[in-house]
Amino acid sequence: MAKYVLMNKDTEVMVVEQDDKTYKFIAILELINIAYAPFVIKNAIASFPEKTLDKINQWFRYRIIPNSRENKYELLKNIDVESSEELANKHFALSLSDQYWLKPIHSSITWKNINYFTNDYDSHEFFDANYGNNAYITLTKKITTALSSLETPNNTTAGQLKKAWIKINEENYLYKASASLYNFDPINEVIASMICEILEVPYIPYELKTIQNKRQNTLVSVCKCIINENQEIIPAYELIEHNQKLSGTFQDYYIYLDELEKHNIPRAEEYLQKMFMLDYIMLNEDRHLTNFGILRNVETLEWESICPIFDTGRSNNTNISESYWDWNEGEVKCFTDHFITSEALLELFTIPLRTEQFEKLKAVSQEFKHLLFQYQTYTKLFDEQIEKIAKGFETRLELFYRKMREKGLLIEE
For the beta sheet containing 293-297, the strands, ordered from the edge strand earlier in sequence to the opposite edge, are 231-235, 293-297, 303-306
For the beta sheet containing 163-168, the strands, ordered from the edge strand earlier in sequence to the opposite edge, are 163-168, 171-176, 217-224, 207-212
| pLDDT value of residue 72 | 83
- DSSP for 240-288 reads HTT-TT--SSTTHHHHHHHHHHHTT-TTHHHHHHHHHHHHHHHT-S---
The 10 Å CB-count burial string (b at 16+, else e) for 176-207 is bbbbbebbbbbbbbbbbbbbbebbebbbbbbe
pLDDT tops 90 at residue 132:
no
- Measured CA to CA, the distance from residue 187 to residue 287 in angstroms comes to 17
Nearest to 90 by CA among 157, 178, 181: 157
- Measured CA to CA, the distance from residue 250 to residue 336 in angstroms comes to 6
Q: What is the pLDDT of residues 163-218, one digit of tens each?
A: 999 999 999 999 999 989 999 999 999 999 999 999 999 999 999 999 887 777 89
| Surface-to-core class of residue 342, CB atoms within 10 Å of its CB (0-12 exposed, 13-18 middle, 19+ buried) | buried
Contacts with 189 (C-beta within 8 Å, 6 or more apart), sequence order: 176, 206, 221, 223, 311, 312, 313
In this structure, how many other beta carbons lie within 10 angstroms of the beta carbon of residue 237? 17
Give the torsion through C-alpha atoms of 157, 158, 162, 168, to 10 deg: -30
Q: Please indicate whether residue 186 or residue 251 has the higher confidence score (pLDDT).
A: 186
| pLDDT value of residue 49 | 85
Q: What is the pLDDT of residues 346-395, one digit of tens each?
A: 999 999 999 999 999 999 999 999 999 999 999 989 999 999 999 999 99
DSSP bridge pairs for 270 = none
Q: How confident is the model at residue 141 (pLDDT cuts 50, 70, 90)?
A: low
Q: How confident is the model at residue 148 (pLDDT cuts 50, 70, 90)?
A: low
Q: How confident is the model at residue 244 (pLDDT cuts 50, 70, 90)?
A: confident
CB 265 within 8 A of CB 306: yes
pLDDT tops 80 at residue 147:
no
In whole numbers, what is the pLDDT of the chain averaged over residues? 93
CA distances from 81 to 163, 286, 377 (A): 17, 30, 34
What is the set of domains in the chain, with CATH numbers? 231-411 (1.10.1070.20)
pLDDT tops 80 at residue 137:
no
CB 136 within 8 A of CB 128: yes
- For 178, phi then psi, to 5°, come to -130, 165
Q: What is the pLDDT of residues 283-297, one digit of tens each?
A: 999 999 999 999 999
